[in-house]
Structure 1
Amino acid sequence: MDSIISVLADNLPWVWVGITIICVLIESLTLSLTTIWFGISAFVMVFLAFTPLPFPAQLFIFVALALVLLIFTRPVVKQKLNQKKIATNYERIIGQIAVVTKKITALDKGSVKINGMEWTAAVKEDITLEEGSKCIVEEIAGVTAYVKQI
Protein backbone atom coordinates (compact mmCIF):
# COMPACT_ATOMS: atom_id res chain seq x y z
CA MET A 1 0.00 0.00 0.00
CA ASP A 2 2.83 2.38 0.82
CA SER A 3 4.44 1.69 -2.54
CA ILE A 4 1.22 2.67 -4.38
CA ILE A 5 1.00 5.93 -2.43
CA SER A 6 4.66 6.77 -3.10
CA VAL A 7 4.26 6.02 -6.84
CA LEU A 8 1.09 8.13 -6.88
CA ALA A 9 2.82 10.99 -5.07
CA ASP A 10 5.76 10.92 -7.49
CA ASN A 11 3.46 11.01 -10.53
CA LEU A 12 0.72 13.29 -9.22
CA PRO A 13 0.85 15.77 -12.14
CA TRP A 14 0.31 12.86 -14.55
CA VAL A 15 -2.64 11.64 -12.50
CA TRP A 16 -4.27 15.06 -12.86
CA VAL A 17 -3.48 15.09 -16.60
CA GLY A 18 -5.20 11.70 -16.88
CA ILE A 19 -8.24 12.92 -14.97
CA THR A 20 -8.36 16.01 -17.22
CA ILE A 21 -8.32 13.87 -20.37
CA ILE A 22 -10.97 11.49 -19.04
CA CYS A 23 -13.28 14.34 -18.03
CA VAL A 24 -12.90 16.10 -21.38
CA LEU A 25 -13.55 12.85 -23.26
CA ILE A 26 -16.70 12.18 -21.24
CA GLU A 27 -17.88 15.73 -21.84
CA SER A 28 -17.25 15.47 -25.58
CA LEU A 29 -19.40 12.34 -25.69
CA THR A 30 -22.25 13.66 -23.54
CA LEU A 31 -22.21 17.47 -24.09
CA SER A 32 -23.98 17.84 -20.75
CA LEU A 33 -21.74 20.66 -19.45
CA THR A 34 -21.05 18.73 -16.26
CA THR A 35 -17.73 16.90 -16.47
CA ILE A 36 -16.04 19.78 -18.29
CA TRP A 37 -15.86 21.68 -14.97
CA PHE A 38 -14.12 18.73 -13.35
CA GLY A 39 -11.76 18.64 -16.32
CA ILE A 40 -10.94 22.32 -15.90
CA SER A 41 -10.43 21.79 -12.19
CA ALA A 42 -8.12 18.82 -12.85
CA PHE A 43 -6.15 20.94 -15.34
CA VAL A 44 -5.58 23.54 -12.61
CA MET A 45 -4.48 20.74 -10.30
CA VAL A 46 -1.74 19.71 -12.77
CA PHE A 47 0.08 22.91 -11.86
CA LEU A 48 -0.71 22.69 -8.14
CA ALA A 49 0.72 19.16 -8.11
CA PHE A 50 4.21 20.67 -8.49
CA THR A 51 3.82 22.44 -5.14
CA PRO A 52 4.45 20.70 -1.80
CA LEU A 53 0.68 20.60 -1.18
CA PRO A 54 -0.32 17.16 0.16
CA PHE A 55 -2.66 15.00 -1.93
CA PRO A 56 -5.68 15.31 0.42
CA ALA A 57 -5.47 19.11 0.15
CA GLN A 58 -5.17 18.86 -3.64
CA LEU A 59 -8.19 16.58 -3.73
CA PHE A 60 -10.19 19.04 -1.62
CA ILE A 61 -9.22 21.97 -3.89
CA PHE A 62 -10.09 19.88 -6.97
CA VAL A 63 -13.58 19.04 -5.71
CA ALA A 64 -14.26 22.55 -4.34
CA LEU A 65 -13.15 24.27 -7.55
CA ALA A 66 -15.14 21.86 -9.72
CA LEU A 67 -18.30 22.40 -7.67
CA VAL A 68 -17.91 26.18 -7.71
CA LEU A 69 -17.48 26.11 -11.49
CA LEU A 70 -20.40 23.73 -11.90
CA ILE A 71 -22.77 25.75 -9.73
CA PHE A 72 -21.89 29.26 -10.88
CA THR A 73 -20.74 29.00 -14.49
CA ARG A 74 -22.75 26.10 -15.93
CA PRO A 75 -26.10 28.00 -15.98
CA VAL A 76 -24.49 31.00 -17.68
CA VAL A 77 -22.73 28.91 -20.32
CA LYS A 78 -25.81 26.76 -20.90
CA GLN A 79 -27.93 29.86 -21.45
CA LYS A 80 -25.41 31.29 -23.92
CA LEU A 81 -25.21 28.02 -25.86
CA ASN A 82 -29.00 27.63 -26.06
CA GLN A 83 -29.57 30.96 -27.77
CA LYS A 84 -30.47 29.66 -31.17
CA LYS A 85 -31.20 32.14 -33.90
CA ILE A 86 -34.21 31.12 -35.94
CA ALA A 87 -33.59 31.95 -39.55
CA THR A 88 -36.72 33.09 -41.35
CA ASN A 89 -35.26 33.66 -44.81
CA TYR A 90 -38.00 36.19 -45.52
CA GLU A 91 -35.48 38.37 -47.34
CA ARG A 92 -35.30 35.87 -50.20
CA ILE A 93 -38.93 36.42 -51.22
CA ILE A 94 -38.56 40.18 -51.68
CA GLY A 95 -38.69 40.90 -55.40
CA GLN A 96 -40.34 37.57 -56.26
CA ILE A 97 -43.62 37.17 -58.09
CA ALA A 98 -46.60 36.10 -56.00
CA VAL A 99 -50.12 34.99 -56.89
CA VAL A 100 -53.03 36.68 -55.12
CA THR A 101 -55.19 34.07 -53.36
CA LYS A 102 -57.54 36.54 -51.61
CA LYS A 103 -58.50 39.98 -52.96
CA ILE A 104 -56.29 42.83 -51.71
CA THR A 105 -57.50 46.43 -51.51
CA ALA A 106 -56.06 49.60 -50.05
CA LEU A 107 -58.35 49.15 -47.02
CA ASP A 108 -58.34 45.35 -46.60
CA LYS A 109 -55.53 42.89 -46.39
CA GLY A 110 -55.66 39.79 -48.52
CA SER A 111 -53.30 36.92 -49.09
CA VAL A 112 -50.74 35.80 -51.63
CA LYS A 113 -48.93 32.56 -52.34
CA ILE A 114 -45.15 32.76 -52.66
CA ASN A 115 -43.05 29.63 -53.21
CA GLY A 116 -45.91 27.47 -52.02
CA MET A 117 -46.39 29.44 -48.79
CA GLU A 118 -49.41 31.56 -47.94
CA TRP A 119 -48.69 35.10 -46.73
CA THR A 120 -50.96 37.87 -45.48
CA ALA A 121 -50.62 40.66 -48.02
CA ALA A 122 -51.34 44.37 -48.24
CA VAL A 123 -50.74 47.17 -50.70
CA LYS A 124 -49.35 50.65 -50.04
CA GLU A 125 -50.97 52.25 -53.08
CA ASP A 126 -54.66 52.86 -53.74
CA ILE A 127 -55.09 49.81 -55.97
CA THR A 128 -57.05 46.56 -55.91
CA LEU A 129 -55.49 43.20 -56.74
CA GLU A 130 -58.02 40.55 -57.70
CA GLU A 131 -57.72 36.87 -56.85
CA GLY A 132 -55.52 35.03 -59.36
CA SER A 133 -53.57 38.13 -60.43
CA LYS A 134 -49.81 38.32 -60.12
CA CYS A 135 -47.86 40.83 -58.10
CA ILE A 136 -44.31 41.50 -56.86
CA VAL A 137 -43.30 41.46 -53.21
CA GLU A 138 -41.84 44.85 -52.27
CA GLU A 139 -41.29 44.48 -48.55
CA ILE A 140 -42.00 42.28 -45.53
CA ALA A 141 -43.18 43.82 -42.25
CA GLY A 142 -43.86 41.29 -39.52
CA VAL A 143 -46.04 38.63 -41.13
CA THR A 144 -47.38 40.86 -43.87
CA ALA A 145 -46.01 40.98 -47.39
CA TYR A 146 -46.43 44.33 -49.07
CA VAL A 147 -46.97 43.82 -52.76
CA LYS A 148 -47.34 45.96 -55.87
CA GLN A 149 -48.99 45.35 -59.18
CA ILE A 150 -46.84 44.03 -62.03
Structure 2
Amino acid sequence: MFENSLFVWVAVIILGVVIEAFTLDLSAIWFAVGAVAALVAASIGLGLPAQLIIFVLFSAALLVLVRPFCRRFLRTKNEPTNADRIIGEPAIVVEEINNMQATGEVKILGQLWSARSADETVIPAGTAVRVVAIRGVKAIVEKTQ
Protein backbone atom coordinates (compact mmCIF):
# COMPACT_ATOMS: atom_id res chain seq x y z
CA MET A 1 0.00 0.00 0.00
CA PHE A 2 2.81 2.41 0.92
CA GLU A 3 4.63 2.01 -2.41
CA ASN A 4 1.42 2.28 -4.46
CA SER A 5 0.53 5.65 -2.95
CA LEU A 6 4.00 6.97 -3.82
CA PHE A 7 3.40 6.14 -7.49
CA VAL A 8 -0.05 7.69 -7.38
CA TRP A 9 1.29 10.97 -5.99
CA VAL A 10 4.14 11.07 -8.52
CA ALA A 11 1.55 10.55 -11.27
CA VAL A 12 -0.60 13.38 -9.87
CA ILE A 13 2.45 15.65 -9.79
CA ILE A 14 3.32 14.86 -13.41
CA LEU A 15 -0.29 15.25 -14.52
CA GLY A 16 -0.63 18.61 -12.76
CA VAL A 17 2.57 19.94 -14.31
CA VAL A 18 1.61 18.72 -17.79
CA ILE A 19 -1.88 20.25 -17.58
CA GLU A 20 -0.42 23.53 -16.35
CA ALA A 21 2.14 23.54 -19.16
CA PHE A 22 -0.67 23.28 -21.73
CA THR A 23 -3.12 25.71 -20.14
CA LEU A 24 -0.88 28.27 -18.40
CA ASP A 25 -3.90 29.19 -16.29
CA LEU A 26 -2.29 28.75 -12.84
CA SER A 27 -4.92 26.17 -11.90
CA ALA A 28 -3.34 22.72 -12.08
CA ILE A 29 0.05 23.63 -10.63
CA TRP A 30 -1.42 23.96 -7.14
CA PHE A 31 -2.64 20.36 -7.28
CA ALA A 32 0.87 19.29 -8.27
CA VAL A 33 2.23 21.11 -5.21
CA GLY A 34 -0.46 19.51 -3.05
CA ALA A 35 0.62 16.14 -4.44
CA VAL A 36 4.22 16.91 -3.45
CA ALA A 37 3.03 17.50 0.12
CA ALA A 38 1.06 14.25 0.02
CA LEU A 39 4.11 12.44 -1.39
CA VAL A 40 6.16 13.69 1.55
CA ALA A 41 3.43 12.49 3.91
CA ALA A 42 3.42 9.09 2.20
CA SER A 43 7.20 8.80 2.39
CA ILE A 44 7.22 9.39 6.16
CA GLY A 45 4.62 6.68 6.59
CA LEU A 46 1.34 8.51 7.08
CA GLY A 47 -1.74 6.60 5.98
CA LEU A 48 -3.82 7.23 2.88
CA PRO A 49 -6.55 9.25 4.70
CA ALA A 50 -3.90 11.62 6.09
CA GLN A 51 -2.28 11.89 2.64
CA LEU A 52 -5.60 12.79 1.05
CA ILE A 53 -6.33 15.42 3.71
CA ILE A 54 -2.88 16.96 3.24
CA PHE A 55 -3.35 16.95 -0.56
CA VAL A 56 -6.74 18.64 -0.38
CA LEU A 57 -5.67 21.21 2.24
CA PHE A 58 -2.43 22.19 0.47
CA SER A 59 -4.05 22.34 -2.97
CA ALA A 60 -7.06 24.36 -1.80
CA ALA A 61 -4.98 26.76 0.29
CA LEU A 62 -2.56 27.46 -2.55
CA LEU A 63 -5.36 27.77 -5.08
CA VAL A 64 -7.30 30.25 -2.95
CA LEU A 65 -4.45 32.21 -1.37
CA VAL A 66 -1.54 32.20 -3.82
CA ARG A 67 -3.20 32.00 -7.27
CA PRO A 68 -4.77 35.50 -7.21
CA PHE A 69 -1.46 37.01 -6.08
CA CYS A 70 0.46 35.24 -8.86
CA ARG A 71 -2.10 36.08 -11.54
CA ARG A 72 -1.83 39.78 -10.73
CA PHE A 73 1.91 39.75 -11.46
CA LEU A 74 1.86 37.33 -14.38
CA ARG A 75 -1.07 38.94 -16.22
CA THR A 76 -0.21 39.81 -19.80
CA LYS A 77 -0.86 43.39 -20.64
CA ASN A 78 -2.81 44.26 -23.78
CA GLU A 79 -1.24 47.08 -25.69
CA PRO A 80 -3.88 49.48 -27.00
CA THR A 81 -3.56 50.12 -30.73
CA ASN A 82 -6.08 52.95 -31.09
CA ALA A 83 -7.53 51.06 -34.07
CA ASP A 84 -10.99 51.58 -32.62
CA ARG A 85 -10.62 55.32 -33.19
CA ILE A 86 -11.55 54.77 -36.85
CA ILE A 87 -15.00 53.47 -35.92
CA GLY A 88 -17.51 56.06 -37.07
CA GLU A 89 -14.97 57.80 -39.31
CA PRO A 90 -15.73 58.56 -42.97
CA ALA A 91 -13.66 56.76 -45.60
CA ILE A 92 -13.32 56.51 -49.37
CA VAL A 93 -13.29 53.15 -51.16
CA VAL A 94 -10.06 52.90 -53.18
CA GLU A 95 -10.55 49.27 -54.29
CA GLU A 96 -14.01 47.81 -54.93
CA ILE A 97 -15.36 46.04 -51.85
CA ASN A 98 -16.71 42.60 -52.66
CA ASN A 99 -17.13 40.25 -49.70
CA MET A 100 -17.65 37.21 -51.93
CA GLN A 101 -14.27 37.76 -53.60
CA ALA A 102 -12.63 38.91 -50.34
CA THR A 103 -11.49 42.18 -51.93
CA GLY A 104 -11.73 45.78 -50.89
CA GLU A 105 -9.71 48.64 -49.52
CA VAL A 106 -10.57 52.02 -48.05
CA LYS A 107 -8.65 55.12 -47.10
CA ILE A 108 -9.38 56.23 -43.53
CA LEU A 109 -7.61 59.19 -41.91
CA GLY A 110 -4.86 58.93 -44.53
CA GLN A 111 -4.29 55.19 -44.00
CA LEU A 112 -5.22 52.28 -46.24
CA TRP A 113 -7.27 49.50 -44.62
CA SER A 114 -8.57 46.22 -45.98
CA ALA A 115 -12.34 46.51 -45.89
CA ARG A 116 -15.52 44.46 -46.08
CA SER A 117 -19.12 45.54 -46.52
CA ALA A 118 -21.33 45.40 -43.43
CA ASP A 119 -24.40 44.41 -45.46
CA GLU A 120 -22.66 42.13 -48.01
CA THR A 121 -23.27 44.54 -50.91
CA VAL A 122 -20.62 45.33 -53.50
CA ILE A 123 -19.34 48.88 -53.03
CA PRO A 124 -17.53 50.44 -56.04
CA ALA A 125 -14.29 52.42 -55.82
CA GLY A 126 -14.81 56.12 -55.12
CA THR A 127 -17.84 55.58 -52.89
CA ALA A 128 -18.03 57.42 -49.57
CA VAL A 129 -18.46 55.00 -46.65
CA ARG A 130 -18.44 55.05 -42.87
CA VAL A 131 -16.57 52.55 -40.65
CA VAL A 132 -19.01 50.66 -38.41
CA ALA A 133 -16.69 48.04 -36.88
CA ILE A 134 -13.31 46.38 -36.99
CA ARG A 135 -12.91 42.60 -37.37
CA GLY A 136 -9.32 41.54 -37.03
CA VAL A 137 -7.43 43.83 -39.41
CA LYS A 138 -10.39 44.65 -41.63
CA ALA A 139 -12.61 47.72 -41.46
CA ILE A 140 -16.31 46.91 -41.77
CA VAL A 141 -18.01 49.72 -43.67
CA GLU A 142 -21.40 50.83 -44.91
CA LYS A 143 -22.35 53.36 -47.57
CA THR A 144 -23.13 56.86 -46.37
CA GLN A 145 -26.32 58.58 -47.52
Q: Which structure has the greater CA radius of gyration?
A: 1
Aligned length: 83
- Equivalence for 2:68: 75
Tell me which amino acid in the other structure corresponds to 1:32: D
Please state if 1:43 is matched with 2:63. no
- Equivalence for 2:10: 17
Please state if 1:31 is matched with 2:24. yes
Give the percent of matched residue pairs that are identical in Structure 1 and Structure 2.
38
Structure 1 residue 85: Cα displacement: 8.6
Tell me which amino acid in the other structure corresponds to 1:15: V
TM-score normalised to structure 2 length: 0.50
8 Å CA contact 2:37–2:54 kept in 1: the answer is no
Tell me the distance in 2 between the aligned counterparts of 1:79 and 1:21: 26
Tell me which amino acid in the other structure corresponds to 1:70: L
Taking the TM superposition and a 5 Å limit, the aligned residue runs for 1:76-115 are 76-82=69-75, 84=77
Mind listing any 5+ residue stretches in structure 2 that lack a counterpart?
A: 80-109, 112-145
8 Å CA contact 2:41–2:51 kept in 1: the answer is yes
Q: How big is each residue's C-alpha offset from its partner over 1:22-64, in whole Å with a ceiling of 9 and x where there is no partner? A: 0110111111111110011112222221122110111011011
Give me the CA root mean square deviation. 2.2
Tell me the distance in 2 between the aligned counterparts of 1:83 and 1:55: 40
Tell me which amino acid in the other structure corresponds to 1:14: F
Local SS of the residue matching 2:57:
helix
Structure 1 residue 13: Cα displacement: 1.7
